[in-house]
Structure 1
Amino acid sequence: MGRRLHDYRERIESGVTRVLLLGIFATGLVAQFVKPVGDALQDKAFLGGALLSLVGYVLYDAVRELSGTLQTAPVAVAVNSSDLGRHVREAFSGREEVGICFLGYTGETLFLELKHRLERLLREPGPTRKVTISILVPDFSVPMAVPARVGPAGVPVDDPEFRRRLELKCQDFEQQLSGLQARLGAAGRVHVLCQYRQYQGIPRDKICIFNGELVFHGLYDVTARQRHQGQDRQDRELYDPEGYGTDLTVWSRKDGTETTRVAIDTWVKHFQGLWLLAAQPSWRVPPPPA
């Protein structure tokens, strides 16, 4: 309703402006050739003023057309990964069904927020009755260029020990979420399905999809270096992307533009394809029997 009133008001203002410009043009033109009118207005530059108003009329239409084009074009919005918590809370707010998809590195930032929301559902389920969480992480069981140790001249050297550490981290996240899934199921309040799968390759993209309506996409800095201590107590430099500080571009169906709708549908389809091709990790805890 508000949008229609806004459009209606704009059409009225546009019509009034056009009438005024055409009125100035007509008055100036008459004043140039009808002497009594010209004497009454006491202006010697009627034709110039009339032509100027006509040019203004033409330019007004052109500017309005350009403005309309710019207003309907989707505006890319960027947020930081640290802002995901607010969007996770909004994804659960007032909804009976919640769907969250993630593709990235370890998903630690998202995991913490999901853990807090599921714990809250144990106390205050509200309207939420079904939660589906799909998480895609790299297959850390195979040699990788990222993460890897920084070798001579910056050449990545596979580091099985560090890969194993990340694999155990993902396993721990999955076990904690599966535990909450079982507790919520036993309480009979909310049905939760949390699944982990693995993709092949380095962690390049970070994708979050909330309820098929909100899409976040960013690129990890794959050459980011961190220092970690190994089991031998020695520090070593590793290629280890920092997910928490990754900037994300946002697409929201609330924009209401066709371009945004197509972009979101494309990302959703892309994730579904990757999910279909991904393998279940060997460490994944089987879901409890229904």
Structure 2
Amino acid sequence: MNEAFRARTVEITFLGYTGETIIGALRHHLGELLDDPGPTRRVCIRVLVPDFVQPMIVPSRVGPNGEPLDDPAVRRHREGMCQGYDHALSAFAERLNGLGRVTVESEFRLYPGIPRDKICIINRELVLHGLYDVIARPVMRLSDPEYYDPQGYRTDLNVWSARDSDDTRAAVATWNKHLDGLWSLATVPPWRQVTAT
């Protein structure tokens, strides 16, 4: 991602579970822009996360026979995580925008479904893609029930670069088209919706 932040315009599109891993990486790079933006003048960040308002099989509680049992409390917790990451990213954007050297736009949107894929597209020319282990059961505390709860940092990623070959250029174009389509169909999260008064 270091090379991406040497461009005049930086575009990051991410689809994942909560956005935790991409926000961690972006904090570092956005922090560097506070001191020295270099050639970067505009940063556009789009983050797609599941719609945790909907009943889900992942994340979910593990039933007696291994069946997924929807757990509204777990979904609310994950939604709260997404909201927190969105607010943190928005606050960083406001701080950078206030300095007037770099314009930063960031937005979270919701897609229907479970967190199956982890996809990051950087400057529309580099794609990282991996599949979450949807049946992962991380141990919290021994007294807690088991949950199906993918761990993003454990996801192996495949990489395609538009600079490598005609085949990878075509793959990158397909991923861009796919995420652009998902973005256009995705909904604005409840925490970002403004109600008329």
Q: Please give the range of the TM-score, normalised by the shorter of the 2 chains.
A: over 0.9
Q: Which amino acid aligns with 2:191?
A: W
SS in structure 1 at match of 2:146: strand
Q: Distance in 2 between matches of 1:201 and 1:269?
A: 19
Shift of 1:234: 4.7
**Equivalent in the alignment of 2:40:** 128
Cα distance 1:134–1:216, how it changes in 2: closer, same or farther (>3 A)? Answer: same
**Equivalent in the alignment of 1:274:** 182
Shift of 1:90: 2.3
Shift of 1:227: 3.0
Matched, 1:143 2:26: no
Shift of 1:285: 7.6
**Equivalent in the alignment of 1:103:** 15
Cα distance 1:285–1:186, how it changes in 2: closer, same or farther (>3 A)? Answer: farther
Q: Distance in 2 between matches of 1:254 and 1:272?
A: 20
Matched, 1:242 2:151: yes
**TM-score, normalisation: structure 2:** 0.94
Paired residues in the alignment total 194
1:228–1:238: 8 Å Cα contact kept in structure 2? no
Q: Which amino acid aligns with 1:208?
A: C
Structure 1 unmatched runs, 5+: 1-87
Q: Distance in 1 between matches of 2:35 and 2:159?
A: 31
Matched, 1:258 2:171: no
SS in structure 1 at match of 2:163: helix
Taking every aligned residue pair, what percent have the same amino acid on both sides? 56
Q: Give 4+ residue runs of structure 1 displaced > 6 Å after superposition.
A: none
Q: Distance in 2 between matches of 1:168 and 1:145?
A: 18
1:174–1:285: 8 Å Cα contact kept in structure 2? no
Q: Which amino acid aligns with 1:251?
A: W
Matched, 1:90 2:3: yes
Alignment of 1:166-185 (within 5 A): 166-185=78-97
2:4–2:10: 8 Å Cα contact kept in structure 1? yes
Higher relative contact order (CA 8 A, sep 6+): 2
Q: Distance in 1 between matches of 2:109 and 2:101?
A: 26
SS in structure 2 at match of 1:209: strand
Alignment of 1:4-43 (within 5 A): none
Shift of 1:254: 2.0
SS in structure 2 at match of 1:189: coil
Larger radius of gyration: 1
Shift of 1:168: 0.8
Q: Distance in 1 between matches of 2:145 and 2:35?
A: 44
Q: Distance in 1 between matches of 2:98 and 2:41?
A: 13
1:150–1:237: 8 Å Cα contact kept in structure 2? yes
Q: Distance in 1 between matches of 2:136 and 2:168?
A: 31
Q: Deviations over 1:54-102 (max 9, x none)?
A: xxxxxxxxxxxxxxxxxxxxxxxxxxxxxxxxxx22211x211100000
- RMSD between aligned alpha carbons? 1.5
Q: Deviations over 1:202-223 (max 9, x none)?
A: 1111111000110011111111
Q: Distance in 1 between matches of 2:192 and 2:159?
A: 31
Matched, 1:217 2:126: no
Q: Which structure has more helix as a fraction of its residues?
A: 1
Shift of 1:284: 2.6
